[in-house]
Amino acid sequence: MNFNTVDKLSLQNKTVFLRLDLNVPLDGQGNITDDTRIVKALPTLRHILKQTNKIVVASHLGRPKGKPVPSMSLEPVGRKLSELLNLELAFVKDYVQTPVDQLLHQLGKNRIILLENLRFYSQETENDKEFAQVLAKGIDYYVSDAFGALHRAHASVAALAERFPKERRAIGFLVEQELKTLDKLKKGSKAPYTVIIGGSKVSDKVGVLLNLVNHCNHVLIGGAMAYSFLKFQGTRVGTSLVEANVGSLISSIYESAEARKVSIHLPLDHVCAKTMDSTETKVIEGDIPDAYAGFDIGPLTVDAYKKVIFASKTIFWNGPLGVFERPAFRTGTSAIAKAIADHDCYSVAGGGDSIAAINFAKVADKFTHISTGGGASLEYLEGKILPGLKVLFFKNFNI
C-alpha cells in the first residue's frame, strides 16, 4: 500500500491533528443513535495516545451549510468519546479565535482537544487554504482516519494535509482497513461474486455498477432504483418513484453485463401502498396498478435473492432495498441483511442506511467488513481518485 500509516510515525510528545469521521446520527435530543463510527475510530486514537496526548481531534457532523447549528454540535460526540476513552476532552467551539496551539501545550496528561463541527465554517467545504493554515497552527503531524470524508475536497481533508511534508502525513488504521477490503472487491474476489445495490437513484450508482460488472457474476437490485429498471424493461410500476432520463444509463449497464455474462436480478413482487405514509399495504406480483407504488421488495423476491446470496462466495451490499426507515417497508432489507449474515462468505456492506439495517437486524458481527463511508466506498470502487487520498500518497501511486 502506497500510503504512510500511523504506526510508522514517531509521535513521542509531538502534536497531532487527527481528522476523524464522527458524523453519527442523533435523535434530536442530542442522543447518539448509532455510535459505529466513533467506535471504529478508537484504535487509531488509542495508538496515538500511547505516544502523545497532544491531539486535536476534528470532524464534521451533518450539513450545517457554513454556520453554527446547535442540533449538529459535536458536544454529544465529545461526551461519548470521553466515556469510551476514559479521559477528558477540551471542547473548543471557536478555534478561529481561540489559540489552539497554546492550549495544546497546556493539556494535562489525561486530556485531548476536540474541535466543534468543522462545517460550521464555510471555509471548510470551500477547501480554503487560510482556514487550513489556522487548523495547522502548532501541529507537527497530520493523520486522516476519516474514510467517509475522503471523497470531499474540504479544507481539513485536502488543503490541511498538503501543508505537511509527506513523511508527516499518514492514514489511520480504519482507512487502511477500508482500502484493503475494497481493493479485494476491485481487483480479485472469489466467485460467485454478488453485488446488491439499493437506494433511489440509478445516476448515483451507474459508475460503480459499470465498474463492478467487470468483476462480479450477479447484481441484485432493490430500492426505488429498481423501478427505473423495471419501467425500462416494460413493467408497469404504478406511482413508484422513477428517475427521469436514465434510459441510456440503464441500457449501458445491461450492455456491459451482457458482454460479461453478468446476471441482473430485479424484484418479482413488491410491498405496495397508495402512499409512503399509509399503514395499509399489499404484496403485488408483476405489474403494479396505477393507484399503488412499490416501497419494499416482496417475499418472492426475498426468496429469489436469498438463493443467489447462498450460492455466493463474495458479496458487496450498498443501499436499502426498501423504504427502511418506515416499519411497514423494512422487512425486505432486514431479511437480506440476515441472509448475508447467515451465509459463510466474504461480505462487505457500505453506506449509512445499510449499516442501520444491519444494526437493526443485530447481525453486524457476522459481516466480514462494514464500511463507514457509503459515498467514499462507491467512488473508490468506481475507480475515482479520492481527494483525501491523493494528498496522502506517500510514493508514486497509480490507480
Burial of residue 250 (CB within 10 Å: 0-12, 13-18, 19+) is: buried
Pair 354, 126: CB distance under 8 Å = no
Q: Is 374 a catalytic residue?
A: no
Q: Any catalytic annotation for residue 111? A: no
Backbone angles phi, psi at 193, to 5 degrees: -115, 120
What is the pairing mode between strands 218-221 and 269-273? unpaired
C-alpha cell at position 254: 445491461
Q: Name 393's bridge partners.
A: 3
298 carries an active-site annotation: no
Q: Which one from 294, 352, 374, 388 is the annotated catalytic residue?
A: 352
Let me know if 352 is a catalytic residue: yes
Catalytic annotation, pick one of 19, 37, 54, 119: 37
Residue type, 45: L
Residue 35 CB partners (closer than 8 Å, separation 6+): 24, 80
- DSSP, collapsed to helix, strand or coil, labels residue 322 as coil
C-alpha span between 377 and 182 (Å, rounded): 7
Q: Which of 186, 201, 274, 390 is catalytic?
A: 201
CB atoms within 10 A of CB 199: 22
**Annotated catalytic residue within 78, 223, 319, 375:** 375
Catalytic residues, by residue number, are 37, 201, 352, 375
